[in-house]
Amino acid sequence: MKQCDIVIIGGGPAGLAAAIAAKKAGADDILILERDSMLGGILNQCIHNGFGLHTFKEELTGPEYAARFIDEANALGIPYKLGTMVLSVSRDKELLCINPEEGLFRIAAKAIILAMGCRERPRGALNIPGFRPAGIYSAGTAQRLMNIEGYCVGREVVILGSGDIGLIMARRMTLEGAKVKVVAEIMPYSGGLKRNIVQCLDDYGIPLKLGHTVVGIEGKERLTGVTIAAVDEQRRPIPGTEEHYDCDTLLLSVGLIPENELTRGMGISLSRVTSGPQVDDRLQTDIEGVFACGNVLHVHDLVDHVSEEAALAGESAAVYLQKQKTSVPHKVTINAENGVRYTVPQSLDIDNMKDAVTVRFRVADIYRDRAIVVCYDGTEVMRRKKKIMAPGEMEQVILKKSSFSDFPALKEITVRTEAE
């Protein structure tokens, strides 16, 4: 059986950044497994610009951002297999893979980095009544059909959900000559970035209807129209508010789900909030030597954060290979409370942590004039005022190793919001 020090599952932005960091941290025997026919993952179809402002201090398009990492991985001589699907992974890190050249084969890995990304919530998850005609796509599928395969997806479009991909596709389809009639969002706020609402909808006069959803789908062969209605606080449609739109295409941009079938098969604990694995400050899951990063861990807004997070996973895997088994770690749980939906990581090993650990999280609602508060065993150690926080924009706090010196018997860290 083929042996490998570090196998990285997924050759998108997370997998590439993890591979590069692992190599730079001294790991030599690395292999990236990618199921698509090219490296770069979802960035290949994200042809709009705005990527890399944090990492490269310039605005790149998705393919350009990916190319920087692909070029670096190639320069470092990191091997990869394309068209290769991982079917399952055992708890002792044996991978069962398949591709057209080698057929079914196994790889025994010393460390594994999970970087499989996420996928879109489909129509089936929404319970929209009506027919099932052609012309209903998840926004990312439409994006791939249009930007990579070169198809015209539709001419008269309604978009349900105001996630970033839906907003980006509203502009993209408008530029290609389609008429985007409305974007309906069931929540009272948009889950997308402000910049995208302004530059993708307002620029082209596309209305955004907050607190609205699709209640009817018409058309037998091809979609001919949808009905949209306002919803109450419980997100139930309000009778009498229905509006009909003629359209041949409905795009769904209603959320992303980390793709953790392999992770679940390994018996790794998943977070019920993020749907990703639970990890410590080295992004290690509860199987030693298995790390996770990028959208498979939790869904990000910015690829820059994915790259940064993945680099930590790559470095952690390299360090894991070099190190003898450490003493029993002093693991402290990180609790999310009062308006903080979750944190990543979910725990911290104080003895072995880096000098600073970035804890990322999302808030539960739109908050104005609130503070982010961090407590160690109930003692407040950090308070940061925020004018505004929104569920669509990831927040972070940085915990310094030095801050724990006064708390030798620490049991839990709490991150929460408080009204100012």
- Min CB(172)–another protein separation in Å: 8
Considering only 28, 58, 92, 202, the residue that binds another protein (CB under 8 A) is 202
Q: Is residue 352 involved in binding another protein (CB under 8 A)?
A: no
Count of residues in contact with another protein, rule CB under 8 A: 39
Separation CA 216–CA 242 (nearest Å):
9
Considering only 101, 221, 233, 355, the residue that binds another protein (CB under 8 A) is 101
Between helix 303-322 and helix 13-24 the angle, nearest 10°, is: 40
Considering only 55, 138, 141, 147, the residue that binds another protein (CB under 8 A) is 147
Stretch of 111-119, 189-197, 208-216, 270-278 contacting another protein, by CB under 8 A: 189-197
The answer to whether residues 337 and 314 touch, using CB atoms and an 8 Å cutoff, is: no
Considering only 53, 76, 356, 388, the residue that binds another protein (CB under 8 A) is 388
Considering only 1, 75, 104, 175, the residue that binds another protein (CB under 8 A) is 175
Q: Is residue 383 involved in binding another protein (CB under 8 A)?
A: no
- Min CB(55)–another protein separation in Å: 16
Q: Where are the alpha helices (DSSP H) in 215-302?
A: 261-265
Q: Is residue 210 involved in binding another protein (CB under 8 A)?
A: no
Which one-letter DSSP state was computed for residue 255? -
List the one residue out of 348, 386, 376, 342 whose CA is nearest residue 360.
342
Q: Where are the alpha helices (DSSP H) in 207-251?
A: none
Considering only 53, 76, 87, 198, the residue that binds another protein (CB under 8 A) is 198
Question: Which residue, 197 or 206, has its beta carbon nearer to another protein?
Answer: 197
Q: Give the list of residues 6+ apart from residue 218 with CB closer than 8 angstroms, or none.
A: 130, 131, 224, 225, 226, 227
Stretch of 57-65, 129-137, 318-326, 407-415 contacting another protein, by CB under 8 A: 57-65
Enumerate residues 67-96 that contact another protein by CB under 8 A: 67, 79-82
Q: Is residue 284 involved in binding another protein (CB under 8 A)?
A: no
What per-residue string of b and e applies to 250-273 under the rule 16 or more CB within 10 Å gives b?
Answer: bbbbbebbbbbebbeebebebbeb
Q: Is residue 199 involved in binding another protein (CB under 8 A)?
A: yes
Q: Tell me which residue has tokens 């190793």.
A: 401
Q: Where are the alpha helices (DSSP H) in 79-238?
A: 139-147, 164-175, 194-196
Considering only 87, 148, 398, 419, the residue that binds another protein (CB under 8 A) is 148
* 38: three-class secondary structure by DSSP: coil
Considering only 48, 123, 282, 298, the residue that binds another protein (CB under 8 A) is 48
Residue 25, classified by CB atoms within 10 Å of its CB into exposed (0-12), middle (13-18) or buried (19+), is: middle
The answer to whether residues 18 and 310 touch, using CB atoms and an 8 Å cutoff, is: yes
Q: Is residue 393 involved in binding another protein (CB under 8 A)?
A: yes
Q: Is residue 194 involved in binding another protein (CB under 8 A)?
A: yes
The answer to whether residues 271 and 277 touch, using CB atoms and an 8 Å cutoff, is: yes
Question: In the numeric block, which tokens belong to residue 333?
Answer: 């749980």
List the one residue out of 8, 11, 45, 46 whose CA is nearest residue 29.
8
Question: Which residue, 65 or 376, has its beta carbon nearer to another protein?
Answer: 65
Considering only 5, 24, 29, 61, the residue that binds another protein (CB under 8 A) is 61
Pairing verdict, β 156-160 and 249-252: parallel
Q: Is residue 394 involved in binding another protein (CB under 8 A)?
A: no
Helix (H) or strand (E) holding 315: helix 303-322
Q: Is residue 154 involved in binding another protein (CB under 8 A)?
A: no
Q: Is residue 203 involved in binding another protein (CB under 8 A)?
A: yes
Q: Is residue 367 involved in binding another protein (CB under 8 A)?
A: no
Considering only 38, 381, 382, 410, the residue that binds another protein (CB under 8 A) is 38
In sequence order, the β-bridge partners of residue 231 are 237
- Min CB(369)–another protein separation in Å: 11
Stretch of 3-11, 54-62, 133-141, 207-215 contacting another protein, by CB under 8 A: 54-62
List the one residue out of 260, 262, 259, 283 whose CA is nearest residue 89.
262
Using alpha carbons only, what angle is made at residue 229 by residues 225 and 232, rounded to the nearest 5 degrees? 160
Give the footprint of another protein on this chain (CB under 8 A).
Answer: 37-38, 44, 47-49, 59-64, 67, 79-82, 101, 146-150, 175-176, 193-195, 197-199, 202-203, 387-390, 392-393
